[in-house]
Amino acid sequence: MTVKTLNGTVTAPANILNVLSLGYSNMADSYEEAGLHLSANEYRTISHEIYSVLEKAGYYSSPQTFGKEEEKPGEFESKSREPETVNGLKVRRNIFMDDIRTMCIRYGFYTQGDCRDYSSMLCSCNGLVSDDLLEQTAIDIIEHSSEDSLEGAFGSLFGDEKSHYIACMVEMIVNDYSQTVAFY
């Protein structure tokens, strides 16, 4: 596969391009934190372009569907993706895998899983998500993250460490990495 970068074009296998995309995304975050917004936008644009090429090529297809009939884009499991009811109102949350990927890079999460596990997690949380799916995603990220990265993001532990991390991770995803798309 061939993609455009800052220095021209790169031809490499999909897994290498994924790492390159993650690197550009990480650099964009660093530039953003330093207040260098133009550079951050340039790096973020390249990261998204590489990501788009990989997505169109099917690189981010869920590994759980290999050898099975795959879902068509936009089709979701209706039972696990129903809007949640909060105080009589239905809440829909949308999460995009690129936002979760950015979170994992920013905090050093998911360093103890392989590419297949990581891609599967990202694919499972792309689109409309339920509270159950949020919790499953948080557990998956926690199980594949180092203790140091979890402590760095969420501080010292209170009570049962896993339930503390799950609550903190769900809260972080909902507050910082999801979009509420409707109340009705």
Quick: pLDDT tens for 42-79: 888 888 888 778 777 776 654 433 233 333 333 333 33
Q: Residues 129, 174: contact at Cβ < 8 Å?
A: no
Task: State mean pLDDT over 88-114.
Answer: 84
Predicted local confidence at residue 159, as pLDDT: 57
The answer to whether the Cα torsion of 18, 24, 30, 33 is positive or negative is negative
Residue 46, C-beta contacts closer than 8 angstroms, at least 6 positions apart: 4, 5, 6, 24
CA angle 94, 95, 97 (to 5 degrees): 150
Predicted local confidence at residue 158, as pLDDT: 59
Q: What is the tens place of the pLDDT at every residue in 156-166?
A: 765 556 778 88
pLDDT above 60: residue 101: yes
Q: Where is mean pLDDT largest: 61-75, 114-128, 130-144, 152-166? A: 130-144
Task: State mean pLDDT over 141-146.
Answer: 92
